[in-house]
């Protein structure tokens, strides 16, 4: 994350989501809402009258007399809590140890103001509560997501109602209803009505009131493969083959895919491939993208780009750059800045040739057509403009900062070549992405506040809050993830337009889709700006709606969905995932019984993806030797006593693993532990079994060490690939998986 300060980029840790001059970043949002959101926990000790003075509006005739007469602190506080509840803010949660943690009054007030509720006088609260309750009791909600072929609205007053229905393909239906006193309007879907999105319009006969409802008719369950599948998880950036150009790219991934196919694998999972800034160390995390609807062109394979375009000048230029690319040794950490700078030189040269031949190369018309897609056009403008003015879009000149259509169109016309260059990068990425066979994409939980996604969907994001996690054993102070949450209510009132676009784009080239932190589809932990991570609260999401939309897009695209549901999970989420056929994630390290023994293979649920670890966890060799614990000590995360305790616990668990593997007939003294664990994985009834590439190659180093920024080379480690060794290792896994253990 970075801000523009005195014309220079000031890089700050993504984990903190702080701007050095916060007032500059939010210069257009200075209101009582900002002041409230900056209160710290200690301020909850303010007297009742101080709180009233802070949150009333003394200049307002309607609320100026708030302090006259008897005012009850209890009544006011209850109204704050009532409004918080109606706004989806949970008043308490249970922590990892089962202890009830209540949200402070300060936190509730701050989050209400983040949601745009500024008048927190008693009268103001009452008005907002009444408004929320009316919305809740409205017989015509803004969105209905259902898998049933029948809808029911009401109760309604006596009236004649005309229902108009319009589908995505132009289908139309019309029905009339005569409603009796306090009865319901029941509508059976026409037999020809298929799964999809529909606009319903209710026209009451005697009143000039129109009730629009967005209907999502969902299959109610996600697409599943017809048979069990195995595969591997790959961090594309880490791939280091003989032809690599400083970072793993699409060609390297297809090489791995080819080896996997030969071994019988059908799942190739990748970490997020979305657009990032490609600047170390804070602009490289695949889980903090600039935009989840755009792809990162750092993964473009340059030789293939040159071959695709067929320009001799580009091939010669790439030959000239080859010695520079050779300086990025596979043994060194990835130099994102250097690699991207060099790749950009080549990509700009190829586009320059493409632009010069735009009137004779028919593919330029294809690029122009691609550019006409509204989202691509605006995003291309964003990055072209940011090249000059920086990514801190809130400081842009007014017409562009507020997305005035004429100003933007004029800019595009005046700088068409530069704007089209950014569309060209996305066009090329989609050309290559379409060539994958069984890719598993990864959808991050959020996006950077400084990127095009937040710029283009500004009204949907709560910029005065950050997402994170409450305190637990892993992070005693809690976690601040550094990106703003989406407003659930606004998304719903918008017909989930942005959410649908996200799911569609991330399924477009995938056969599988992993949803990172799917717990957030039920609720997310919001931290008001200026507050510590522990001073947050959970805000509820519309889980059934989101899963219904997911199921519809999954069936349409024939994409299997995996939810990352690790940690403390509400049983309701587990039940909902099972109902909608979203695969659960089961990690060997965590699947233990009450006595700390690993669960048997048969205890893994069929609707799951089984694996040994994830990108945030140590590879098997490192785990077995406790190297991850020693690493945390080295970077200052653990003290001597913690290390002693954790190493003891790890040693005990490893002994229990060996005991159980022996008991199940999978391992004997002197045998291969690696093969025993693979046989264990093969025996699980899980629909998908996945092995990390780190484990396939016997790598000890972690891809990412959560909780660090500069202390560890996150996302920068390379995995040298020797094709023969990789093929042999994958074939070994294939034989074991085929044999079922």
pLDDT per residue over 498-520, tens digit each? 999 999 999 999 999 999 999 99
Q: Are 96 and 146 in contact (CB under 8 A)?
A: no
Mean pLDDT across the chain, nearest whole number?
89
Measuring CA to CA, how many Å separate 507 from each of 429, 443, 503, 561? 15, 10, 6, 10
**Can you give the pLDDT at residue 679?**
98
Which H or E run includes 675? helix 673-683
Higher pLDDT, 39 or 659: 659
CATH code for 229-583+687-738?
3.20.20.80
How many Å apart are CA 38 and CA 347, to the nearest integer? 44
Q: Are 57 and 121 in contact (CB under 8 A)?
A: yes
Mean pLDDT for 542-558 is: 99
Confidence of residue 51 (pLDDT cuts 50, 70, 90): low
Q: Is the pLDDT of residue 334 over 60?
A: yes
- The two structure tokens encoding residue 237: 């950036």
**Can you give the pLDDT at residue 96?**
83
Confidence of residue 27 (pLDDT cuts 50, 70, 90): very low
- Highest-scoring range by mean pLDDT, 3-7, 98-102, 158-162, 337-341: 337-341
Closest among 121, 46, 116 to 79, alpha carbons compared: 121
The strand pairing partners of 442, in sequence order, are 514
Sequence-distant (≥ 6) Cβ neighbours of residue 29 within 8 angstroms: 463, 464
pLDDT per residue over 560-602, tens digit each? 999 999 988 899 999 999 999 999 999 999 999 999 999 999 9
Query: What is the b/e burial string over 373-386, where b = at least 16 CB atoms within 10 angstroms of the residue's CB?
Result: eebbbbbbbbbbbb
Q: Is the pLDDT of residue 66 over 80?
A: no
Confidence of residue 374 (pLDDT cuts 50, 70, 90): very high
**Can you give the pLDDT at residue 112?**
98
* Percentage above 90 pLDDT, the chain: 81
DSSP 42: G
pLDDT per residue over 224-237, tens digit each? 999 999 999 999 99
Give the torsion through C-alpha atoms of 375, 380, 382, 384, to 10 deg: -170
pTM: 0.90
- The two structure tokens encoding residue 663: 């008991």
**Can you give the pLDDT at residue 695?**
98
Sequence-distant (≥ 6) Cβ neighbours of residue 384 within 8 angstroms: 415, 418, 419, 421, 422
* Chain mean position to CA 72: 43
Higher pLDDT, 32 or 419: 419
3-class SS at 361? coil
**Can you give the pLDDT at residue 19?**
25
Domain with CATH 2.60.40.3080 in the chain: 148-217
The secondary structure of 155-187, three-state, reads EECCEEEEEEEEECCCCEEEEEEEECCCEEEEE
How many Å apart are CA 344 and CA 333, to the nearest integer? 20
C-alpha triplet 172, 173, 175: angle, nearest 5°: 155
Using DSSP, how many helices (H) and how many strands (E) does the chain show? Answer: 26, 27
- The two structure tokens encoding residue 488: 């659930």
**Can you give the pLDDT at residue 546?**
99
Which H or E run includes 498? helix 497-507
How many Å apart are CA 306 and CA 315, to the nearest integer? 6
CATH code for 148-217?
2.60.40.3080
Domain with CATH 3.20.20.80 in the chain: 229-583+687-738
Mean pLDDT for 312-318 is: 97
DSSP 307: H
Closest among 272, 268, 296 to 286, alpha carbons compared: 272
**Can you give the pLDDT at residue 477?**
84
Confidence of residue 205 (pLDDT cuts 50, 70, 90): low
């Amino acid at each position: 994350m970075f801000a523009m300060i005195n014309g220079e980029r000031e890089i700050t840790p993504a984990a903190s989501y702080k701007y050095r001059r916060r007032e500059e970043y939010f210069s257009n949002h200075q209101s009582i809402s900002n002041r409230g959101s900056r209160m710290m926990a200690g301020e909850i000790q303010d007297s009742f009258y101080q709180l009233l003075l802070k949150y009333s509006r003394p200049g307002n005739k309607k609320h100026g007399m708030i302090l006259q007469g008897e005012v009850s602190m209890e009544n006011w506080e209850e109204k704050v809590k009532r409004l918080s509840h109606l706004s989806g803010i949970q008043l308490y949660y249970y922590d990892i140890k089962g202890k009830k943690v209540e949200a402070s009054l300060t936190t509730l007030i701050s989050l209400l103001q983040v949601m745009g509720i500024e008048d927190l006088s008693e009268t103001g609260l009452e008005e907002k509560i009444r408004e929320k309750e009316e919305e809740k009791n409205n017989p015509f909600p803004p969105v209905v997501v259902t898998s049933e072929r029948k809808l029911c609205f009401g109760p309604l007053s006596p009236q004649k109602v005309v229902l108009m229905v319009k589908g995505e393909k132009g289908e139309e239906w019309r029905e009339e209803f005569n409603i009796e006193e306090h009865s319901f309007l029941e509508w059976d879907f026409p037999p020809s009505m298929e799964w999809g999105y529909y606009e319903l319009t209710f026209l009451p006969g005697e009143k000039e009131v129109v009730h629009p409802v967005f209907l999502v008719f969902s299959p109610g369950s996600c697409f599943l493969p017809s048979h069990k599948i195995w595969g591997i998880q790959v961090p594309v950036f880490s791939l280091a083959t003989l032809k690599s150009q400083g970072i793993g790219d699409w060609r390297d991934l297809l090489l791995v895919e080819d080896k996997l196919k030969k071994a019988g694998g059908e799942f190739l999972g990748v970490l997020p491939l979305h657009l990032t800034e490609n600047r170390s160390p804070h602009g490289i995390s695949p889980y903090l993208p600039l935009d989840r609807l755009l792809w990162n062109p750092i993964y473009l394979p340059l030789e293939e780009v040159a071959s695709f375009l067929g320009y001799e000048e580009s091939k010669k230029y790439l030959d000239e750059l080859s010695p520079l690319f050779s300086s990025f040794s596979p043994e060194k950490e990835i130099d994102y800045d250097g690699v991207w700078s060099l790749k950009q030189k080549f990509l700009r040269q190829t586009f320059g040739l493409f632009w010069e031949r735009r009137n004779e190369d028919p593919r330029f018309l294809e690029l122009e057509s691609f550019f006409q897609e509204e989202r691509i056009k605006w995003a291309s403008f964003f990055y072209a403009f940011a090249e000059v003015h920086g990514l801190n879009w809130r400081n842009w000149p007014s017409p562009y900062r507020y997305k005035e259509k004429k100003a933007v169109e004029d800019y595009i016309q005046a700088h068409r070549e530069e704007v089209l260059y950014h569309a060209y990068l996305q066009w090329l990425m989609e050309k290559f992405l379409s060539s994958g066979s069984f890719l598993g994409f990864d959808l991050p939980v959020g996006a950077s506040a400084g990127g095009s996604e937040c710029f283009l969907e500004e009204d949907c994001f709560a910029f005065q809050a950050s997402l994170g996690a409450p305190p637990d054993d892993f992070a005693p102070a809690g976690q601040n993830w550094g990106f703003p949450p989406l407003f659930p209510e606004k998304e719903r009132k918008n017909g989930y337009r942005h959410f649908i676009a996200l799911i569609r784009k991330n399924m477009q080239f995938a056969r599988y889709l992993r949803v990172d932190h799917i717990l957030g589809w039920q609720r997310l932990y919001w931290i008001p700006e200026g507050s510590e991570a522990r001073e947050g609260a959970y805000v509820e999401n519309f889980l059934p709606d989101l899963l219904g939309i997911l199921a519809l897009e999954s069936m349409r695209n024939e994409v299997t969905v995996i939810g990352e549901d690790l940690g403390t999970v509400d049983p309701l989420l587990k039940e909902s995932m099972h109902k909608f056929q979203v695969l659960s994630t089961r990690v060997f390290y965590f699947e233990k019984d009450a006595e700390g023994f690993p669960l048997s293979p048969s205890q893994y649920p069929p609707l799951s993806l089984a694996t040994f670890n994830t990108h945030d966890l140590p590879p098997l060799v490192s785990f077995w030797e406790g190297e991850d614990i020693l690493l945390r000590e080295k970077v200052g995360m653990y003290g001597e006593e913690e290390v002693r305790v954790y190493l003891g616990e790890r040693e005990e668990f490893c002994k229990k693993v060996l005991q159980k593997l022996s008991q199940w007939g999978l391992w004997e003294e002197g045998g291969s532990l690696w093969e025993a664990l693979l046989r264990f994985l093969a025996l699980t009834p899980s629909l998908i079994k996945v092995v990390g590439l780190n484990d396939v190659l016997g790598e000890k180093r972690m891809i990412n060490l959560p909780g660090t920024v500069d202390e560890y080379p996150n996302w920068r480690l390379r995995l040298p690939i020797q094709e023969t060794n990789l093929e042999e290792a994958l074939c070994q896994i294939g034989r074991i998986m085929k044999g079922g253990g």
